Copies of this chain bind each other. A is one copy, B any other.
Amino acid sequence: MDHETVRVDLGARSYPIYIGAGLLDESGLLDAHIAGRQVLIVSDGGAGPLYADRVAAALPDRDVDVLRLPRGEHEKTLDNLNLIFDRLLERRFNRKATLLALGGGVVGDMAGFAAACYQRGVPYLQVPTTLLAQVDSSVGGKTAVNHPLGKNMIGAFYQPVAVVADIATLESLPERELLAGLAEVIKYGVLWDGTFFEWIEGHLDRLLARDVSVLGHAVRRSCEIKAEVVNADERENDVRALLNLGHTFGHAIEAGAGYGAWLHGEAVAAGICMAADTATRLGWLGGQERGRIVALIERAGLPTGAPAALDPDQLLGLMQVDKKAVDGGIRLVLPLAIGRTAVTGDFDAGALRETLEHCRA
């Protein structure tokens, strides 16, 4: 089947991302990236029933087992991670075994982290089936589980051997999850590429209508941007932090609303608008550009501010516990223009406070 390839260049840990419709059944593509005999497909109640049998059928020469994890962000726990280790050990999976993550970001994060830790590291293959996972979780090597006191607090940097993004899986994605994924696509435009932002403005209706070729381009360009950023700085000290545009606000919203009440992408959408709002209040971003950002997110049916129930002090407290905070100070990723962003801890706290007071969903 036709597909495009984005290469993530990380020296010995480089890997390809394949993007196309129908790749789940591409036996050759999947099998080429599996070294040992044993494969554990890690999935959940969403993607598992839809796709696990097809993927297993595409690997006829492997010893394939399927594990379904409990579904949802609130299930991304150390206890559930242990379900993966239990299965691997019960089935005597060795160090050459491959973990195949089949599902959204939660499944990818957990299977990836389990692969990083099992016997101190076994290969894993990412098969993301949500738009968010295809454009976000599948690039960058971040894996993690949550802790009751913080999101993604326990994890590892660990690269997959390959990512297989089957665009056809997006056809059956619930509307709300499609929109949440679009939030990250818009994020890439805002933070890195004004031309891509403009392309999204022009193709939003076809994206919402799930036009496969238009979605394919959105996934490809998003992965390219993320790969460019990650190539520049794998461990997020400088450039990579830009990818967190909207995330410090977003994590506070997710934590404040209770994990799972807001989808990650929804919180990021609101966070992007809030970052743009703060940047404009500081005089760093033009009001017209802020307006275009907020308008696109609104047209996509996504929230543009925090829930009314969370007061500014609560949000501020939650932002301080975010792991991007250093020694209690808050660092923000703020847009300077559409397509250009900066990270800073040096800003007028009054502007942030006004954003927290005024930016409401």
When A85-B147, A92-B321 are in contact, do A153 and B326 touch as well, CB less than 8 Å? Answer: no
A119 x B323 contact (CB < 8 A) = yes
Q: Which among B78, B149, B323, B326 is the interface contact of A90 at CB below 8 angstroms? A: B149
CB distance from A69 to the nearest CB of B (A): 16
Chain B residues positioned under 8 Å from A116 (CB to CB): 156
Task: Flag whether A120 is at the interface (Cβ < 8 A).
Answer: yes
Q: Give per-residue flags for A128-170: 1 if the beta carbon is below 8 A from chain B beta carbons, else 0.
A: 0000000000000010100101100111110000000000000
Determine whether the beta carbon of A156 is less than 8 Å from that of B89. no
Q: Do residues A325 and B94 form an inter-chain contact, with CB atoms below 8 A?
A: yes
Chain B residue at minimum C-beta to C-beta distance from A38:
B327
A94: contacting residue among B89, B118, B120, B327, CB under 8 A:
B327
A61–chain B nearest beta-carbon distance, Å:
14
Please tell me if A36 contacts chain B, counting CB pairs below 8 Å: yes
- The answer on a CB contact under 8 Å between B92 and A153 is no
- Asked if residues B153 and A89 are in contact (CB atoms below 8 Å), the reply is yes
User: In this assembly, does A121 line the interface, its C-beta being within 8 Å of a C-beta of chain B?
Assistant: yes
Cα distance A159–B96 in the bound complex, in angstroms: 23
The answer to whether B156 touches A156, judged by C-beta atoms less than 8 angstroms apart, is: yes
List the B residue with the shortest CB-CB distance to A119: B323
A 42-86 binary contact with B (CB < 8 Å = 1; else 0): 000000000000000000000000000000000000100010011
Contact indicator A89/B121 (Cβ below 8 Å) = no
Q: Does A299 sit at the interface, judged by CB under 8 A?
A: no
In the complex where A120-B156, A156-B117 touch, is A150 in contact with B82 (Cβ < 8 A)?
no
Distance in angstroms between the alpha carbons of A305 and B36 in the assembled complex = 34
* A 147-201 contacts with B by CB, 8 A: 147, 149-150, 153-157
- Inter-chain contact B89/A149, CB cutoff 8 Å: yes
Oligomer copy total? 2
Report how many residues on chain A are interfacial, defined by Cβ distance under 8 Å: 34
Question: In the docked arrangement, what's the CA distance between A110 and B156, Å?
Answer: 15
B-side contacts of A353, CB under 8 Å? none
- B121 x A36 contact (CB < 8 A): no
Q: A95 near B: Cβ within 8 Å? A: yes
**How far is the CB of A123 from the nearest CB of chain B, in Å?**
13
A292: Cβ under 8 A from any B Cβ: no
The interface residues of chain B lying within 8 Å CB-to-CB of A85 are 78, 147, 153-154
Task: Write out the residue numbers on chain B whose beta carbons fall within 8 Å of the beta carbon of A156.
Answer: 116-117, 120-121, 156
- Distance of A153 Cα from B81 Cα, bound (Å): 13
A120 to B235, CA, bound (A): 10
User: Is B118 a contact partner of A157 (Cβ separation < 8 A)?
Assistant: no
| Contact indicator A142/B120 (Cβ below 8 Å) | yes
Closest to A78 in B: B82
Knowing that A90-B149, A94-B325, A117-B156 touch, tell me 10 more A-B residue pairs with CB under 8 angstroms: A37-B327, A85-B153, A86-B147, A86-B149, A89-B147, A96-B327, A117-B155, A119-B155, A120-B155, A120-B157
25 CB-based A-B contacts, threshold 8 Å: A37-B327, A78-B78, A78-B82, A86-B147, A89-B147, A90-B149, A92-B321, A94-B323, A94-B325, A94-B326, A94-B327, A94-B328, A95-B323, A96-B326, A117-B155, A118-B154, A119-B153, A119-B323, A120-B142, A120-B144, A120-B155, A120-B156, A121-B156, A121-B157, A156-B156
In the complex, the 7 A-B pairs of residues with the closest C-beta atoms, listed nearest first: A89-B149, A120-B155, A119-B323, A117-B154, A120-B157, A85-B147, A89-B150
